[in-house]
Structures are given as C-alpha cells and as structure tokens.
Chain A
Amino acid sequence: MAPAASKLYADDVSLLMVLIDTNPFFWNSINTSLSFSKFISNVLAFLNSILLLNQLNQVVVIATGYNSCDYIFDSSALQNHNQKGESLLQKLEEFVDKDESLCRDDSVDGPGFSLLSGSLSMALCYIQKVFRSGPLHPRPRILCLHGSPDGPGQYVAIMNAIFSAQRSMVPIDSCIIGAQHSAFLQQASYITSGIYLKPQLLDGLFQYLTTVFATDLHSRSFLQLPKPVGVDFRAACFCHKNTIDMGYICSVCLSIFCKHHKKCSTCGSVFGQAQTQDSSTPDRKRKTSVDN
C-alpha cells in the first residue's frame, strides 16, 4: 500500500538500503565457498544493476560491523558517477579501520555477532528522513546480507526495529550467506512481508540477488517469489538471552524470563507472594507457553 504521494513517481522507483555484514570473525571462520572479496564484487555488480533498472532508483549501503555500523555508500550524494565502486571500497576500508580501533576484545571464539540492530535502526532513520523530504520519494525497502549468527543480546532492539518497519510499511528482505538460518531475520521478513532466502549455491550469489532481491515492491504483487516453509517464532529470554519456548512472562510489560524472578527487570513490578500458608515460595505470575 503506497502512500498516495509516491504515485506521482513511476510505480517501480525504489530506494534500496543494503546492510552488509562485515563482521571479520564471521568472514574469517566461513567455509570457503564465498570469500569476502567475491562477496563484495557480487554485491557491487548487483548495486550497479539496481541503479540501471531505473534512473531514479537510489541505493544506500550500510556496513554492519562487529563494534559499530556506518554508511559507506549513498547513490544520491553528488559524486563522480564513474567512481562509485571505488568510493564504496574506499569508505569500506576506512570503516574497517575504525571498527578495529573500537575493538575491545583481543580474541573472539567462533564467528561472533554483528550489530544487526544498529544497522537496521540506521536504515530506518534514513528512510524516515526520505519520507519527510516531500511528497515525491521512492518506495523504500531494506535488504540484509547477513551471515553472522543471531546475537541474543540484540533481540529486543531487533524486534523493536522490526515493528517500526512494519508500521512504516517497509519490507525487510533477508539473504543469509552464513551457515545457519537466522530466526530474527525470518521473523523480520515474515512480519514486514519481505523475502527470506538462504541460497544453496553461494557461488551464484549474483544470480540470486538479481532474480529475487532486485524486484521492486510494485512488481512483487504479480511476481512469484520464494516463500519459506515456516518461521521460527521463538523468543529469547530477557535475562540470559537464550532462545526458549516455555518461560515466565511479566503480566505488566510482557517481558520474557526463563527462570523465576522476584522482580521484573524491565518495568520493576514486584511479583506477589502466595496467599495461602501452605507454601512459603512466592507465587509466580502467570506462566504461559511462549511457542507462538
């Protein structure tokens, strides 16, 4: 459902926010079918083809690092059009340097977590700015090229970003280049009616990108695109950030806990004591199963 004003544009003008996972620990640990350089070259070719589809299309690239996130490319910024790829790579290098300087861990086990919530928030802020720029604007969508595993500590922030995207009617597409499915991005794509895809052949990443993710929002109403079988709706508990499907919920703010607590850490409400003299343990608030 497009805001009425954007009808003044052609239907297929899009603003694509691409969130690239630049977590070095993930890229270091990946099994070799897709190296980072191959990945970046596929993405660059994809960005070029998006810009070729329509003269008014815009692309913005945000790098999702281990310690920080930043914009590394904006096609609407005035620059020499022949140097687009060069400037993107330049900015990417600078970003990696900055990210390293912010790094506080000397070493990390396994792939580590990238700051997806940060880059989602930055993308949504940019989109809001575009919305407020006037009646003429392209239809925005977000594409997450993600490989790092889900960081449970970011569950709340990511869910907030997802709901905000849903409310602004911005679809979040996800292309998973890592080894495992991402429950957060599955939920994101489901809730915002985006596309979730985990490519089988990472060599042909460019083909996946142009076939599935280059489609603009208007065309999606009559194109058949891949649909995932099911979505993992399980939540993560707020105390340990573990994924759970049965737990305790505070009846005031609906925060989820895996173990019994005396006080809710989010809203501060105190859980009451039992009324009878039979047991001395405090009465728990309603325990509900969390599997939907």
Chain B
Amino acid sequence: MAKMFKGAENAFKVRLSIRTALGDKAYAWDTNEEYLFKAMVAFSMRKVANREKTEISHVLLCNVTQRVSFWFVVTDPSEKHTLPAVEVQEAIRMNRNRINNAFFLNDQTLEFLKIPSTLIPPTDPPVPIWIIIFGVIFCIVIVAIILLILSGIRQRRRKDKGPSEVDDTEDKCENTITIENGIPCDPLDTKGGHVNDAFMTEDERLTPL
C-alpha cells in the first residue's frame, strides 16, 4: 500500500471536523466509521459507468490522524492500478450529499481537499422581496399625496366661497362694537383693521437708507 500512496496523484486527503459539527453528540472515529467511509466511496464509484464492479476492498485508507484526517485511494479490480483522480472526483461530487449525510456532516466539516464542492445555486424568488415592499410603500405614499392635494383643493374652494358669506356676518359684528363719544371702546381690536403696534413687520422696523 505504501508503494501506491507514494505515487499519490490519484490519492485524496480527507479531513473531518466531527466535534465542530456535532458538539457533544460527536461520535468517535474508529474502524467501523472507516468501513462506512470505504463503503460510501465504493458506492459512489459503482455509479460511474464501467466501474460497477468496485468493491469496498478496493478502497484503501492510510495515515489516519487524530485530527481526523486520512488519505484514500481507489484501485481497480486487479488491485494493481489506482483509478484516475478525475473519475474519483467526478463520482464523489455527484454523491457528495449522500456521503455527508451518512456522517451527519456537511461540505465544510467533511472536506475532500482537492475536490471543490458545488455551491448551492442562489434561490432567487421570482420577484425580489425589496420590490414588493417598495411597491407597498410607494402606493401608500402616492395615495396620501393625492388625498392631501384633493383636500387642499377642496379647502381652497370652500375659502373662495366662504368670505362672501362671512363678510356680512363680520360686518354685523363690527357694528356691535360699542361706541362711546365716537371712540371705539376696544382700540386694540384687530378685526377692525387697526394696525397692532406690537406686531411690526421687518420692513417697517428697518428704516430705509
């Protein structure tokens, strides 16, 4: 086996982070787990054309460390040559999900160091969410603007009609100002059109040059 691994182009390093993935529920990595791994790799190879005869004994593991990491290689039925890396890579990629699930791990905690994982394609909803919320807010704003403009128009129409009616009543009110000796009793009555000295506009205060 050492001879085959010396070649090492068709060998893959695998790294597991069981404690990171499972915390307290982490299982120990023993020979049984290794057997399962070999079985999963053999299963993946059997799905490739021309490799349906791959057996568990064709998968060889080596250099298992405490980390947990190890190297593996798949041999052909004659057990003299290793299968090309491209085929093994293809097989593992196609069945990556099932291999992960067998060990309760994912792409980050069960790493095949030379095999890039296929990322989940982004699931875009047909209409991006922001457009929906934008539509809602925009409609509310437009409706509010229209309401305000309409109410403004109505107010102005009422005011235009208003003063002609209000004028008569105000005249009557003016006539009830008590007049003694020809002088109105309430000199600060602004409705009478007197200028209130307390309120001077800026132009009047600043004497022109």
* Bound pair (A, B): no
B residues engaging A (CB < 8 A)? none
